[in-house]
Each structure stands twice: as structure tokens, then as C-alpha cells.
Amino acid sequence: MIYYQDEEVLIRDLKESDARIITEEEIAQGWHQSVEKYEKRLRDRDAGKCVSLAAEYRGSVAGYINVYPDSQWGAFARRGLPEIVDFGVLEKYRNRGIGAKLMDAAEKIAAGYADTVYLGVGLHSGYGSAQRMYVKRGYIPDGSGAWYGDHVCEPYTACENGDELVLYLSKKLK
């Protein structure tokens, strides 16, 4: 299915072949990545648990995003709210509006399920541009504080400033 298309950008369903391309590109840009993450999203999509999208820029895979209509983890788990998960644009394709178009498509999908969408964003500097983008798009912290793994990181407890340390944000869609 096609969710958006213009002269340069195409937003469509994620394909199996995209998993390897995205993984190889992320490894080339220095990320610690494995194809299993994307294969899991494809399995979840095939099981009806999520909608997985890919962005192409001038015919090349450039980014991805997933929407879980009734997420089972995080600050809003099991409340019937959609969560945006694993959103990324490959570095060589950034600053071309691809991320905004992926988010637009994901939010439109989420709005078909509920009036609020949420997401978790990492707290380390590698997520800086995503943190800024979410705030500009109207996402606000949920108030539960930092999460580590799938639990609130209690005050003064040890945690690692890696990808598992996140802040949950939500946005009213309607």
C-alpha cells in the first residue's frame, strides 16, 4: 500500500527486502544493528499487530516507522492507544523532509485507532534530533519520568544511558 508519494519520496508498506538494506546501511553508519529487529517488525505486521512502513527517496530505501495500534509495553501499555516504534531515517537521507512524511503517515494511521498516539524516545545525544522533532510536532512527556527497559527508572537507581533509557511522549491527534 502507498501512504504518500511525490516526485522524490514514497511512503509504502515495509518489504522483506528492506530489512537487509536498512540493516546494512545502519551498520555502515556505525550503528549496532541486526536484521532481526526488522524481521520481528515484519512478523508482527504479518500477525496483524502493527503497520510497518518504509520510505524511499528517489527509489532508494531511506527510512522506516512502525505503528502498533494497541501497544503492550511502555507508559501507555494495554490502554488501547497506538504507539510509534522504531522510527529512523538513514543519515545520508536526512534533512529532506522524509522523517516528517513518515511521521505524518504514522500519525494518520494512529488516528484511525485512537485520538492519542505515544512513543518512547531515547535520552542520549544520538536521539537529539528526534527529541527536538517530537516537541515541534506537539508531543509532550507523559509525566512518568525516565523508563529503563519496560519499567519506570526509580529515582536514584542505576541505569545505562543507552537505547533502553527512554522518555515517553504523547500527542492528541484529534
DSSP three-state, residue 159: coil
Which among 136-140, 154-158, 161-165 has the top mean pLDDT?
A: 136-140
**Distance, CA of 11 to CA of 55 (rounded, Å):** 5
Give the pTM.
0.94
pLDDT tens digits along 2-15: 999 999 999 999 99
Torsion of CA 25, 10, 84, 22, to 10 degrees: -10
CATH number where 34 lies: 3.40.630.30
In which domain, by residue range, is 113 found? 2-172
- Which backbone phi and psi does 123 adopt, to 5 degrees? -100, -10
Place of cell 494518520: 108
**Distance, CA of 23 to CA of 107 (rounded, Å):** 24
Q: Is-contact 88 115, C-beta < 8 A?
A: no
Query: What is the pLDDT at residue 173?
Result: 97
pLDDT tens digits along 86-137: 999 999 999 999 999 999 999 999 999 999 999 999 999 989 999 999 999 9
pLDDT tens digits along 28-65: 998 888 999 999 999 999 999 999 999 999 999 999 99
Q: Is-contact 70 114, C-beta < 8 A?
A: no
Domain count within the chain:
1
**Distance, CA of 62 to CA of 44 (rounded, Å):** 21
